[in-house]
Amino acid sequence: MEPYDYSQPTPQKSSDKKNYFIAALVVMAGLIGVLGFLYFQERGERESLSSRTVEQQRELLKANTKLDSISTQLDAKIAEIRMLGGNIDELMQMKNQLEEDKQALVNATANDVKKYEEKIRHYNEVLASKDKEIVRLREENGVLTTKNQELSASNEGLKTELSTAKQSYSDSISNLKTSNQELADKVTMAAALKAQNVMVYAINSRGKEREKIRADKIDQIRIAFGLNDNPLTEQNGKDIFVRVLDPAGAIISDMATGSGTFDYQHKEMIYTIKKQITYQGNGQMVDIIYKRGTPFKKGKHLIELYSEGFKIGEGTFEVRGGLF
C-alpha cells in the first residue's frame, strides 16, 4: 500500500477557499460603495459651506457699512442736541452699544447677521425720533435768542457759540456724506476684477501661434489672462477694454478694427479693442484676439487691461526683426 500524500488539497478544502474569496470580494465592493458615498457627501457639504461663507462675507460687509453710517449720524445728533441744551444720555448709551455691536460683528455668524438687521432698524428708529426733538429744541432756542437780543447786546457771545455749533453740525453732515462715499468706494474697489498672468501670442496667416513675435510674421495677436476669484464681484456681463501701446508709447487704435473710447478716472481714454465677458468667479481664462491692419513696429509693446472704471492688469510683448 502506497503512503497517503497529505500535500494534495481535498475537494472540500478547495471549495471552502473559493467561498472565502467570493465573500471577500463582496465585502470589498461594499466598502468601496460606502467610501464613495461618504466622499461625495463630504464634497457636497464643503461646497455648500463655501457658498454660505461667500454670502456671509457679503452680508457682514453690508452690515458693517450700515453701522458705520449710523455711528456718523449719531455723532452729529449728539453734538447738536448738546449745543441746544437737550438730554444726550440715551444717545450716549446708544453710542456705547453701537461700538460693542461693531466689535462683535467681526466674529458674527450667518444667523447673527440677521439679528443685526433688527438692531440696525432699531437704531434708525431712534435717530428718526431724535430729529423731532432737535426741531423742538431749535424752536425753543430760537425764542430764547430773540428775547436775549432784546434784553442785552451781551448775547453776542451766545450767537457766536450758536454759529460755531451750527458749523460743527454742518461739518458733521459733510463728514457723513464723505464717509458714506468713502465706504461705497471701498466696497467698489474691493469688488474690482484682477487679471493675472497676462500673455501675448503671435498668430500668423496660417493660424499658428508663437511666443516669439516677428513683425513680418504677425497676422494677429492673442492676449490671454486669468481672472482671480473674488466673492465680492458680481457675476454678470462685464466689458474688458484693451490698450496696446507701441514702443514709443503711442496707443494703437483703428476704429475699423473695433477701437473706441471709455471713461477712466473722469477722463476719456482710447482703447485698442474691447471684449464683453460673463464673470463666473471661478478663476476663468479670457482670450482676446486682435487683428491689426498694418504691421507692428519693432520693439517692446505694453498691454493695459481696464474694466468697470479700474485698471485690472497689464503685460508686455516684444516684436523682433521684420519690416519695422
Q: Is the pLDDT confidence value at 105 over 80?
A: no
Of residues 28 and 123, more confidence is placed in 123
Residues in the chain: 324
Q: Which tens digits make up the pLDDT trace of 228-271?
A: 888 888 889 999 999 999 999 999 998 888 899 999 989 999 99
pLDDT score of 161 more than 60: yes
159's enclosing H/E stretch is helix 156-190
Is residue 175 within 8 A of residue 204, CB to CB? The reply is no
Show Cβ contacts of residue 129 under 8 Å, excluding neighbours closer than 6 positions: none
Question: pLDDT band at 52, cuts 50/70/90?
Answer: very low
Of 123 and 279, the one with more pLDDT: 279
Mean pLDDT over each residue of the chain, to the nearest integer:
78
Is the pLDDT confidence value at 97 over 80? yes
pLDDT at residue number 46: 53
Whether the per-residue pLDDT at 74 is higher than 80: the answer is: yes
Please give the pLDDT value at position 36.
Answer: 61
Question: How would you classify the pairing of strands 220-227 and 237-245?
Answer: unpaired
Largest CA distance in the chain: 149
Spatial separation of the C-alpha atoms in residues 51 and 78, rounded to whole Å? 41
The larger pLDDT score, comparing residue 210 to residue 183, is at 210
Strands 285-290 and 213-214, by their bridges, are unpaired
What percentage of the chain has pLDDT greater than the value 70? 68
pLDDT score of 252: 94
**Cell digits of residue 52:** 454660505
Tell me what the mean pLDDT of segment 160-167 comes to. 71
pLDDT digit string (tens) for 168-192? Answer: 667 766 665 555 555 444 455 566 8
Query: If one looks up domain 195-320 in CATH, what number appears?
Result: 2.60.40.1930
CA distance 288 to 303: 12
Indicate left, alpha or beta for 261 from its phi (over 0: left) and psi (-120 to 50: alpha).
Answer: beta
H helices of 85-155, in order, are 89-104, 110-151
Q: What is the pLDDT of residue 205?
A: 78
Question: What is the per-residue pLDDT for 102?
Answer: 78
- For residue 62, name the pLDDT band (cuts at 50, 70, 90): confident
**pLDDT cut 90: percent of the chain above it:** 22
The model's pLDDT over 116-144, given as tens digits with 9 standing for 90+, comes to: 788 888 888 888 888 888 888 888 887 66
Higher pLDDT, 110 or 304: 304
Q: What is the pLDDT of residue 277?
A: 92
Could you tell me which residue, 30 or 218, shows the higher pLDDT?
A: 218
Tens digit of each residue's pLDDT (9 = 90 or more) over 284-324: 999 999 988 788 888 999 999 999 989 999 999 988 865 43
Beta strand spans in 230-284 (E): 237-245, 251-252, 260-264, 267-271, 273-278
